[in-house]
Structure 1
Amino acid sequence: MRRILVIDGPPAIGNYCAALADAYAEGARAGGHEVRLQPQADYRAAMTSAEVLGSENIGKS
């Protein structure tokens, strides 16, 4: 048995990529693997770009 993390990349819910991720996860579970499905729609970055760069640097090159 393997532990598998499936990350559904696009942030929109209910799209083609979400269907592929669901199908992959279902197949892996049917094969006896432990699967965790992580939709990006549920993801929040640990830091925003403003926090990383400092708000005074946003938009500057």
Structure 2
Amino acid sequence: MSEPTICSAKGCQEAAVYAVIWNNPKIHPPGREKIWTACAEHRRSLADFLDVRGFLRRVDRL
């Protein structure tokens, strides 16, 4: 059995249930997608952090 994916929020050890998909256009090619994983509690804060910088592409359920 594989280990659960852990939330990317600093210090969080909860299982992730979302993939926060992003791209920094200043350093990444347009087709590249970076992924942070998020638990239900941190989904909004991680997505908001990226969105305010113009990096957020979408949030998908895992």
What TM bracket, shorter-length normalisation? Answer: 0.3 to 0.5
More helix, by proportion: 1
Q: TM-score, normalised by structure 2?
A: 0.35
Could you state the TM-score of these two structures normalised by the residue count of structure 1? 0.36
Structure number with the higher strand fraction is 2
